[in-house]
Amino acid sequence: MIENPILWEPGSVNEDNCHLIKFINLINNKYNLTIQDYSQIHRWSIDNIESFWREFIQFCGFKYKGSINKVLTKKSSFQETIWFEDIKTNFAENFIYKIKEELNKNINRTIIISYKENSNPIEIKSTELLEKVGKLSNAMRELGIKKGDRIVTCLPNIPEVIYIMLATTSLGAIFSSSSPDFGQNAILDRFGQISPSLYFCSDEYSYKGKLISKLEEHSEISNNIKSLKKTIVISDTKNSFSIPNSISFNDFINNKSNDLKFEEMNFSDPVYIMYSSGTTGLPKCMVQGSGVLLNHKKEQLLHVNLLSREKIFYFTTCGWMMWNWLVSAISLENTIVLFDGNPFYPGPERLWEIAEKEQIEVFGTSAGYLSALQKTGVNIKNNFSLNNLKSILSTGSPLLSEQFDFVYNSIKTNVQLSSISGGTDLNGCFVLSSPILSVRRGEIQAPGLGMDVDIFSNEGVSIKEIEGELVCKKPFPSMPVYFWNDKDGNKYKKAYFSKFPEIWRHGDYAISKNSGGFIIQGRSDATLNPGGVRIGTADIYRIV
């Protein structure tokens, strides 16, 4: 069978410029091995899952107390696996402890660069981040917010969402987000199930240069969620808020101490609630623990090869898991770049203007965006040098071979185009990029390390070069801890384990290539996927 042509090859890689090479050398030295390529390190990682994750949690600087000798405890089933049950940690502290260490050395660097459609970028330094998170944390504590409480947001992609997430998880509370472009019913279908204590929203947001008021909608949402102690409104204006029991964000944190304390948590204690598509009723509420951050670190270090102090951008809203993924880069001493608005306003080159100005190294987007950009006829290469850009990430839907051609012909020739695929369910990827492998036209480069990914026939037989079901045969740290309101675990079991017992069936059709790469063909369930945000048919029916 003819292999797809190579479009990019890695240059010279070593311990100084490639985290994966450094990790392979560590494994070879410690275990007296001779691993030389990606297929070998992947095979070792799935044959020795406990050793892999034990080594990686130390390699990535994950902060914890206790023993990592017991990596996983598999009880009666795949879905009941417990990870690192003998350690204590705090999700927010893992983002913040290195920032504090830098400040102790008088390094006050830019953590976040935030763009909106029509305004100058805002830069958030280390000191401002810590001050805002500390004040928010103490304001929440004064309201009685504690471990296990739910805090929710419906906000544009602005720095405040990051402050709220970090303040929430510093207390051991659970964070969940949506986006202003979600309809009122879709937001209530999600947040209404989890009985949140606080609701953060904004009075308006901008799209295509127009201000869209959301006060009436947020008032309805607040009225319908009876568990709310307070609604906190972020506003750039002096609007008088019509929302019941509300307070402005600035008033909420005014005169609060910025002293930041971290609640000690188990590794598997909840930090995020994410949502399924709602294909057959209300969206399922997927509860995730600190394994999400560990997996994000693995993907960003060993797969994307994000180096310290590099800038990373992902075009996303706060209602897509790629927001959570992007924000995790803060924990690796990187600067993240945010954008809120229409990526084609005022013109199709808007995001590339930002990439050029900020000298972004890693640029993330969706296949849908690249397809829409291609249809405009724009040639980015003619107008931007993008000298710092080393990697373009794409997810949300399959990246077609023609879009590979478009990127290399019209955006940049010498760039690693990394199609990646996974899901909200695992808040990460099953198949993605590798800095030591070639990019082939139309293919995702490799399975994720520690992910025992395979393609099954309907009979549960492993197949190559033929379309089948994407599965994962062993547990992984970022799998949901449980589903909300699913005491017997039946919703969880039905979602992933009903077709192949004790095998995670993800719901994607895919092909495993002899080259080692993968081609995702699309969903094998009844899920719509506009812009990468999974929406089930039931969401549409509720609007109709």
Residue-level pLDDT at 538 = 31
User: Strand, helix or coil at 110?
Assistant: strand
Pair 389, 358: CB distance under 8 Å:
no
Biggest alpha carbon–alpha carbon distance for the chain: 68
Residue-level pLDDT at 278 = 63
Residue-level pLDDT at 22 = 99
Dihedral, CA of residue 407, residue 412, residue 414 and residue 418, to nearest 10: -40
- Is there a single domain that holds both residue 257 and residue 299? no
For the cut 60, the answer to whether the pLDDT of residue 526 exceeds it is no
Total of domains in the chain:
2
Residue-level pLDDT at 133 = 99
For the cut 90, the answer to whether the pLDDT of residue 441 exceeds it is yes
Is 121 domain-assigned? no
Which tens digit of pLDDT belongs to each residue from 354-394? 999 999 999 999 999 999 999 999 999 999 999 999 999 99
- Is there a single domain that holds both residue 250 and residue 387? no
Q: CA 298, CA 304: separation in Å to the nearest integer?
A: 9
- Is there a single domain that holds both residue 535 and residue 415? yes
- What CATH number corresponds to the domain at position 169? 3.40.50.980
Residue-level pLDDT at 165 = 99
- Domain residues for 456? 6-90+268-543
Cα–Cα distances in angstroms (integers) from residue 228 to residues 148, 190, 217, 244, 291, in the given order = 15, 14, 16, 10, 28
Instruction: Identify the domain boundary among 219, 237, 263.
Output: 263
- Which residues, at least 6 apart from 505, have a Cβ–Cβ distance to it below 8 Å? 456, 469, 470, 471, 496, 497, 498, 499
- Is there a single domain that holds both residue 167 and residue 287? no
Q: What percentage of the chain has pLDDT greater than the value 70? A: 95
Q: CA 421, CA 428: separation in Å to the nearest integer?
A: 8
For the cut 70, the answer to whether the pLDDT of residue 539 exceeds it is no
Residue-level pLDDT at 529 = 52
Which tens digit of pLDDT belongs to each residue from 199-219? 999 999 999 999 999 999 999
- DSSP notation for 233-297: EE-SS-PPP-STTEEEHHHHHTT---------EETTS--EEEE---TTSSPPEEEE-THHHHHHH
Instruction: Identify the domain boundary among 246, 263, 280.
Output: 263
Kindly state the average pLDDT of the residues 513-540: 65
Residue-level pLDDT at 236 = 76
- What CATH number corresponds to the domain at position 27? 3.40.50.12780
SS3 string of 293-355? HHHHHHHHHHHCCCCCCCEEEECCCCCCHHHHHHHHHHHHCCEEEEEECCCCCCCCCHHHHHH
Residue-level pLDDT at 466 = 97
Instruction: Identify the domain boundary among 242, 263, 284.
Output: 263
Residue-level pLDDT at 464 = 97
Q: CA 206, CA 158: separation in Å to the nearest integer?
A: 12
- Predicted confidence band of residue 536 (pLDDT cuts 50, 70, 90): very low
Kindly state the average pLDDT of the residues 239-264: 91
Which tens digit of pLDDT belongs to each residue from 318-339? 999 999 999 999 999 999 999 9
Q: Within 10 A of 136 (CB to CB), how many other CB atoms are there?
A: 28
- Is there a single domain that holds both residue 35 and residue 138? no
Q: Are strands 210-213 and 204-207 parallel, antiparallel or unpaired?
A: antiparallel
Mean pLDDT score of the chain, rounded to an integer? 94
Pair 250, 76: CB distance under 8 Å:
no
- Is there a single domain that holds both residue 328 and residue 444? yes
- Predicted confidence band of residue 427 (pLDDT cuts 50, 70, 90): very high
Q: Which of 296, 330, 306, 259 is nearest to 98 (CA)?
A: 330
Residue-level pLDDT at 541 = 30
For the cut 70, the answer to whether the pLDDT of residue 239 exceeds it is no
For the cut 50, the answer to whether the pLDDT of residue 134 exceeds it is yes
Residue 530's φ and ψ, nearest 5 degrees, are -70, 125
Q: Which of 49-58, 396-405, 457-466, 519-528 has the lowest mean pLDDT?
A: 519-528
Residue-level pLDDT at 240 = 55
- Predicted confidence band of residue 522 (pLDDT cuts 50, 70, 90): confident
Cα–Cα distances in angstroms (integers) from residue 372 to residues 369, 405, 463, in the given order = 5, 14, 34
User: Strand, helix or coil at 202?
Assistant: strand
Q: CA 316, CA 364: separation in Å to the nearest integer?
A: 9
For the cut 60, the answer to whether the pLDDT of residue 102 exceeds it is yes
